[in-house]
Amino acid sequence: GIQVEQSPPDLILQEGANSTLRCNFSDSVNNLQWFHQNPWGQLINLFYIPSGTKQNGRLSATTVATERYSLLYISSSQTTDSGVYFCITGGFKTIFGAGTRLFVKA
Protein backbone atom coordinates (compact mmCIF):
# COMPACT_ATOMS: atom_id res chain seq x y z
CA GLY A 1 0.00 0.00 0.00
CA ILE A 2 0.86 3.63 -0.17
CA GLN A 3 3.38 4.92 2.36
CA VAL A 4 3.32 8.50 3.59
CA GLU A 5 6.44 10.07 5.05
CA GLN A 6 6.55 13.44 6.74
CA SER A 7 9.56 15.58 7.45
CA PRO A 8 10.98 16.89 9.61
CA PRO A 9 9.65 14.84 12.53
CA ASP A 10 10.27 17.71 14.96
CA LEU A 11 10.70 21.43 14.47
CA ILE A 12 11.37 24.24 16.92
CA LEU A 13 10.91 27.79 15.70
CA GLN A 14 11.21 31.24 17.12
CA GLU A 15 8.01 33.21 16.84
CA GLY A 16 7.96 35.06 13.54
CA ALA A 17 10.03 32.51 11.63
CA ASN A 18 8.88 30.73 8.48
CA SER A 19 8.87 26.99 7.94
CA THR A 20 8.17 24.31 5.34
CA LEU A 21 6.76 20.91 6.18
CA ARG A 22 6.92 18.11 3.67
CA CYS A 23 4.80 15.06 2.92
CA ASN A 24 6.11 12.42 0.50
CA PHE A 25 3.95 9.56 -0.77
CA SER A 26 5.20 6.36 -2.33
CA ASP A 27 2.67 6.18 -5.14
CA SER A 28 0.35 8.49 -6.99
CA VAL A 29 -2.58 9.75 -4.97
CA ASN A 30 -5.72 11.59 -5.97
CA ASN A 31 -6.41 13.24 -2.66
CA LEU A 32 -4.39 14.81 0.12
CA GLN A 33 -5.27 16.71 3.25
CA TRP A 34 -3.27 18.68 5.81
CA PHE A 35 -4.39 18.90 9.42
CA HIS A 36 -3.19 20.64 12.53
CA GLN A 37 -3.70 18.80 15.79
CA ASN A 38 -3.82 21.30 18.60
CA PRO A 39 -2.64 20.58 22.16
CA TRP A 40 -6.18 19.50 23.12
CA GLY A 41 -6.18 16.79 20.46
CA GLN A 42 -8.56 18.39 17.99
CA LEU A 43 -7.69 17.79 14.33
CA ILE A 44 -8.31 21.00 12.42
CA ASN A 45 -8.64 20.95 8.65
CA LEU A 46 -6.06 23.14 6.97
CA PHE A 47 -6.19 22.19 3.30
CA TYR A 48 -7.74 19.63 1.03
CA ILE A 49 -5.23 19.76 -1.82
CA PRO A 50 -4.97 16.86 -4.26
CA SER A 51 -2.99 19.11 -6.60
CA GLY A 52 -1.99 22.73 -7.09
CA THR A 53 -1.54 25.50 -4.56
CA LYS A 54 -3.86 27.00 -1.98
CA GLN A 55 -3.43 29.78 0.53
CA ASN A 56 -5.23 30.65 3.73
CA GLY A 57 -3.78 33.58 5.61
CA ARG A 58 -0.28 32.76 6.83
CA LEU A 59 -0.56 29.17 5.64
CA SER A 60 -0.24 27.84 2.14
CA ALA A 61 0.12 24.40 0.61
CA THR A 62 1.33 22.96 -2.66
CA THR A 63 0.85 19.44 -3.96
CA VAL A 64 2.82 18.19 -6.95
CA ALA A 65 1.04 14.93 -7.58
CA THR A 66 3.31 13.86 -10.46
CA GLU A 67 6.32 14.09 -8.15
CA ARG A 68 4.50 12.59 -5.17
CA TYR A 69 4.89 15.29 -2.57
CA SER A 70 3.07 18.05 -0.82
CA LEU A 71 4.43 21.04 1.09
CA LEU A 72 2.86 23.09 3.85
CA TYR A 73 4.26 26.57 4.37
CA ILE A 74 3.83 28.46 7.60
CA SER A 75 4.89 32.08 7.52
CA SER A 76 5.38 34.43 10.48
CA SER A 77 4.79 31.58 12.90
CA GLN A 78 2.91 32.19 16.14
CA THR A 79 2.86 30.25 19.39
CA THR A 80 -0.64 29.08 18.56
CA ASP A 81 0.79 27.24 15.54
CA SER A 82 2.37 24.74 17.93
CA GLY A 83 1.07 21.20 17.69
CA VAL A 84 1.36 18.31 15.29
CA TYR A 85 0.80 18.61 11.56
CA PHE A 86 -0.46 15.59 9.66
CA CYS A 87 -0.96 14.84 6.00
CA ILE A 88 -3.39 12.08 5.03
CA THR A 89 -4.46 10.38 1.86
CA GLY A 90 -6.51 7.37 0.82
CA GLY A 91 -10.15 6.51 0.34
CA PHE A 92 -11.88 4.33 2.89
CA LYS A 93 -8.57 3.15 4.32
CA THR A 94 -7.07 6.46 5.31
CA ILE A 95 -3.28 6.59 5.38
CA PHE A 96 -1.69 8.98 7.85
CA GLY A 97 1.78 10.35 7.94
CA ALA A 98 3.53 10.15 11.31
CA GLY A 99 3.28 13.91 11.69
CA THR A 100 5.60 16.86 12.24
CA ARG A 101 5.67 18.13 15.81
CA LEU A 102 6.07 21.91 15.79
CA PHE A 103 6.91 24.06 18.79
CA VAL A 104 6.96 27.82 18.38
CA LYS A 105 8.80 29.70 21.09
CA ALA A 106 7.68 33.14 22.20
Partner 1 sequence: DVKVTQSSRYLVKRTGEKVFLECVQDMDHENMFWYRQDPGLGLRLIYFSYDVKMKEKGDIPEGYSVSREKKERFSLILESASTNQTSMYLCASSLPPGYEQYFGPGTRLTVT
- Interface residue list for partner 1 (CB under 8 A): 30-31, 33, 35, 40-43, 45, 48, 86, 88, 90-94, 96, 98-99
| Whether the Cβ atoms of residue 36 and residue 83 lie closer than 8 Å to each other | yes
C-beta of 94: minimal distance to partner 1 in Å? 6
C-beta of 64: minimal distance to partner 1 in Å? 18
Q: Which is nearer to partner 1, 43 or 71 (CB)?
A: 43
C-beta of 71: minimal distance to partner 1 in Å? 19
Q: Which is nearer to partner 1, 6 or 82 (CB)?
A: 6
Q: Name 24's bridge partners.
A: 5, 69
C-beta of 50: minimal distance to partner 1 in Å? 8
Q: How far apart are CA 35 and CA 21, in angstroms?
A: 12
| Whether the Cβ atoms of residue 15 and residue 67 lie closer than 8 Å to each other | no
For residues 15-46, one letter each, b for 16 or more C-beta atoms within 10 angstroms of the residue's C-beta and e for the rest, the string is eeeebebebebeeebeebbbbbeeeeeeeeeb
Q: Which is nearer to partner 1, 19 or 33 (CB)?
A: 33
Q: Which is nearer to partner 1, 92 or 106 (CB)?
A: 92
